[in-house]
Amino acid sequence: MYKVLLVDDEPAARRTLRRLLEPYGPLFNIIGEAANGGEAIEKIQALHPELVFLDIRLPDMSGFEVLQQLKEVPHIIFTTAYEEYAIQAFETFAVDYLLKPLREERIAQTVEKLQRLGRLGNTDTAPDLQALIDRFNQPVAATSLSVRTGDRINLLRFDQITYLEADDKYVWIYLVTGQKYLSGATLSSLVEKLPAHFFRIQKSYLINKQLIREMHRHYNGRYRFVMNDTNSTTLYSGRTYQQEIRKEFGL
Amino acid sequence: MFLLANFKQLFRKSIRNEWLRANISAWLIIFCFIMALLPLNGGLFEAIGEYGVGMALLGQAILVTLNTLIVFNSVRWVVRHPRFKQWSFAKHQALILVTLIVTAVSTSLLFYIATAERENIHNWQSTVLISLYFATGVGLVHVFSAYVSLERQKRMDEQSLELSRLREAKARAELEALQAKINPHFLYNALGAIADLSLTDGLRAREMTLALADLFRYSLNYAGDNYATVEEELQLSSLYLRIEQIRFENKLQYEVHTDAEAGAFRVPRFLLQPLLENAVKHGLKATDRLTSIRIDITTLEEGISIAVEDNGPPFPEELVPRYGLQSVFDKLDLLFPNRYEVLFLAQPKAVVIKMYTPKARRHV
């Protein structure tokens, strides 16, 4: 007999679980339900369930993050529509991993498995939960830079940015269209957020390599860049950047 | 190389007048040329014999100056004149060649008449001949290099044309790929909900199945058409939101506000759905309250504004667009290049898309 908590943001999914577990009557004692991560943590800590049916994708956090915040982790059966996390989830202390939509035959297998395992012992906390969470929350490759002006956020797409110019305390970001945006961040902090094809040609200039129309040898080891924007902006590299530029452009 | 570059820079800075700069360069080049051709120039040796080296060189310098002023500038004028530029390549080059020869020969003749004794028939002929050779040679080199650069330009144009054709084909393919994608997990979840409702609430299960069918019909039937009217997009939106509303049972409410004119406006197909999917997701993050979503569509002087508002937690400082938002940007880039704006407002929290189209083109 297991004390069971059901965690899922969809009422229908919780209802389905209840209905599917019902035939096994005395084996599962459903002591509560939670509709989000916060509620799940609260109820697990208050009710000490032995078995939790846990949805991986919850509105406020992932199921993995719920586990991370627990001192004592109960046995977990993940339920989700996402197949891609199955293997990773099994590497934690998951007893089972159920794909939605849930069905009777599959629950029967879970029950069998539970009975084979017998009395559930204590679980060790999974060592690599953080890696799993990072992987789950992994941001998709960024394609734009967000710049806040007042209460607006402007998303400037990388392929639209021709160059950035550091000016005293601010950085001007120039777009292909000729528009410019002011960012309060420093040029060096922006470098980290921009992809590698943004290249420094001078202490205060960062240009988009993919938007260079022409590149000319200038004098004193400097180069002249004509950018592929509406104004055909011309920029000059700094003398000290000669080596980097030659390397970058294979000269 | 360094010295040359430095000199060029200095030259450019000290002589601001472009005409003067060009003339000085031409003078230097012609002077060098004539000096190099000295052995051929019989007249010069005679001149040296007659007047001494200094006078002979002065004479040559005057000849070079005359050549620069007359020949170089007339050819320059012909090359740069916009009317001649409109001529065909061959005609334009022929004109340049003729101008060059006529001016060069007449300049030498002029110079000869002014300086030399008239009875020396041999010298008169050689002067004309030399300037004729000289002018023809320079002219042919010019024609040849112009031809080479024309060919190169042609090839580059062809390449860029090819590139733009490829780009267009790629864009079309991309758009098709963008449209076809309705999040498969949405389908799984919706079907899961239907499976449950079919036992507990048959009417709701039926409603959701029908809404899902309409949603997919919309996405399949119009896969080839990149544009949809606002009205169509709104129908799709209410189907989508209704499905989510049934899924989350009373945790979600939504309202749509649109002005009468907006309905017929053409926008990228499936523009709204990803925004709504995000709004629902973000709205549900605030677990302590009812998620409410509001769509506001207003026509602008020169376009349309679509706002999707939700009451979830504020946008993060660092906004990284995921698939949904990215697809919105991609569609706008392909169909409204440089004629759209996407704003993220904090209060009330909303994503606003503004598309600019002249009134006349709205219904096209």
Strand order in the sheet with A223-227: A212-217, A223-227, A234-236
Q: Provide, as residue numbers in chain A, all residues whose Cβ is less than 8 Å from the Cβ of B193.
A: 10, 12-13
Three-class DSSP category at B61: helix
B84-133 pLDDT tens trace: 777 777 888 888 888 888 888 887 777 777 766 555 555 667 777 777 88
**B156 and B186 belong to one structural domain:** no
- Residue B46: alpha-carbon gap to chain centroid: 61
Token output for B138: 């320079």
The full DSSP string for chain A is -EEEEEE-S-HHHHHHHHHHHGGGGGGEEEEEEESSHHHHHHHHHHH--SEEEEESB-SSSBHHHHHHT-SS--EEEEEES--TTHHHHHHTTEEEEEESSP-HHHHHHHHHHHHHH-S--PPPPPTTHHHHHHHHHPPPPP-EEEEEETTEEEEEEGGGEEEEEEETTEEEEEETTS-EEEESS-HHHHHHHS-TTEEEEETTEEEEGGGEEEEEE-STT-EEEEESSTT--EEE--GGGHHHHHHHTT-
CB pairs under 8 A between A and B: 101
Whether B128 and B241 share a structural domain: no
- Distance in angstroms (rounded) separating the CA atoms of residues A238 and A223: 8
Claim to verify: residue B134 and residue B186 sit in the same structural domain: no
Interior/surface letters B98-135, b for 16+ CB within 10 angstroms, e for the rest? ebbbebbbebbeebbeeebeeeeeebbebbbebbeebb
Q: Are residues B194 and B252 in the same domain?
A: yes
* DSSP-derived pairing of the beta strands A2-7 and A28-34: parallel
pTM over 0.80? The answer is: no
> Do B6 and B132 have their domain in common?
yes
DSSP letter (8 states) at residue B352: E
Asked if the Cβ–Cβ distance from A10 to B346 is below 8 Å, we say: no
Q: For position A163, which CATH number holds?
A: 2.40.50.1020
Residue by residue, DSSP assigns A49-68 as -SEEEEESB-SSSBHHHHHH
Higher pLDDT, B32 or B180: B32
- B165 shares its domain with B209: no
pLDDT, chain B, mean: 80
Q: How confident is the model at residue B364 (pLDDT cuts 50, 70, 90)?
A: very low
Output phi, psi for B314, to 5 deg.
Answer: -60, 160
Shared domain for B91 and B130, answered yes or no, is yes
Among B121, B144, B172, where does a domain finish? B172
How far apart CA B346 and CA A247 sit, in angstroms, is 44
Looking at the predicted structure, is the pLDDT value of residue A54 above 90? yes
Q: Does A244 lie in the same domain as A150?
A: yes
Same domain assignment for residues A223 and A192: yes
At residue B198, does pLDDT exceed 80?
A: yes
**Among candidates B192, B249, B287 on the partner chain, residue whose Cβ is nearest the Cβ of A101:** B192
Question: Each residue of B27-78: pLDDT tens digit?
Answer: 888 778 777 766 665 656 666 666 677 777 777 777 778 777 788 888 888 7
* Shortest alpha-carbon distance between residue B193 and chain A (Å): 6
Nearest Cα of chain B lies from the Cα of A141 at a distance, in angstroms, of 8
CA distance A78 to A68: 15
**Which CATH number covers residue B351?**
3.30.565.10
Q: Give the nearest partner residue to B321 out of A19, A60, A155, using CB atoms.
A: A155
What CATH number did the domain enclosing A26 receive?
A: 3.40.50.2300
Q: Give the residue from B172, B190, B219 where a domain finishes.
A: B172
Query: Residues B148-170: pLDDT tens digits?
Result: 888 887 777 777 667 676 677 66
- End of a domain among A122, A137, A152? A137
Residues 6+ apart with CB under 8 A from B319: A146, A153, A155, B344
Q: Which residues does residue B340 pair with via DSSP β-bridges, in sequence order?
A: B355
Among the candidates A112, A137, A162, a domain finishes at A137
B-chain residue closest to A153, CA distance: B344
B108 and B228 both lie in a single domain: no
pLDDT of residue A35: 92
Provide the residue range defining the domain that includes A55: 2-137
Residue B262's nearest CA partner among B272, B248, B251 is B272
Contact residues, chain A, for B248 at CB < 8 Å: 9-11
- B 282-321 residues with CB < 8 A to A: 284-285, 287, 315, 317-321
Residues B309 and B186 both lie in one domain = yes
For residue A223, what are the β-bridge partners? A217
pLDDT band at B307; cut points 50, 70, 90: very high
| Mean of per-residue pLDDT scores for chain A | 85
A161-206, pLDDT tens digit by residue?
A: 999 999 878 899 999 888 888 888 888 888 888 888 898 999 899 9
Q: Return the structure tokens found at B73.
A: 């500038």
Q: Chain B residue with minimal CA distance to A17?
A: B196
Same domain, A244 and A149: yes
pLDDT at B28: 83
Nearest neighbour of B189 by CB, restricted to A10, A15, A148: A10
- What is the reported pLDDT for A126? 55
Mutate one of A146, A149, A216, A230 to test the B interface: name it (highest B CB count within 10 A): A146
Residues A157 and A97 grouped into a single domain: no
Q: Which of A108, A137, A166 is the last residue of a domain?
A: A137
Q: What are residue B305's DSSP bridge partners?
A: B298, B354
In B, minimum Cα distance to A219 occurs at: B5
Residues A166, A114, single domain; the answer is no
Burial call A162-198: b when 16+ CB within 10 Å, e when fewer = bbbbbeeeebebbbbeeeebebebebeebeeebeeeb
Q: Which residues pair with B220 in a beta bridge?
A: none
Q: Which of the pair, B70 or A208, is modelled with greater confidence?
A: A208
- Report the domain count for chain B: 2
Q: CB–CB of B67/B106 below 8 Å?
A: no
Look up residue B322 and give its DSSP letter: -
Domains contained in chain A, number: 2
Contact flag A177-B185 (C-beta cutoff 8 Å): no
pLDDT higher than threshold 80 for residue A226: yes
**Rounded to whole angstroms, how far apart are CA atoms B93 and B144?**
10
User: For residue B43, what pLDDT is reported?
Assistant: 59
When mean pLDDT is compared across A25-39, A154-168, B175-189, the lowest value belongs to: B175-189
Question: In this prediction, does ipTM exceed 0.90?
Answer: no
Residues A204 and A113 in one domain: no
Judge: B344–A82 Cβ closer than 8 Å, yes or no. no
- Same domain for B28 and B10: yes
Residue B304 has pLDDT above 70, yes or no: yes
A42/A166 same-domain check: no
One domain for residues B56 and B132: yes
pLDDT band at A123 (very low <50, low <70, confident <90, very high): low
Domain range for residue B286?
Answer: 181-361
Q: Are residues B244 and B323 in the same domain?
A: yes
With beta carbons under 8 A apart, name residues in chain A contacting B347: 151
Name which of A7-16, A43-52, A119-128, B296-305 the model is least confident about. A119-128
Judged against a pLDDT cut of 70, whether residue A108 lies above it is answered with: yes
Residue of B nearest to A62 (CA): B285
Q: Taking CB atoms and an 8 Å cutoff, what residues of chain B touch A157?
A: 329, 333
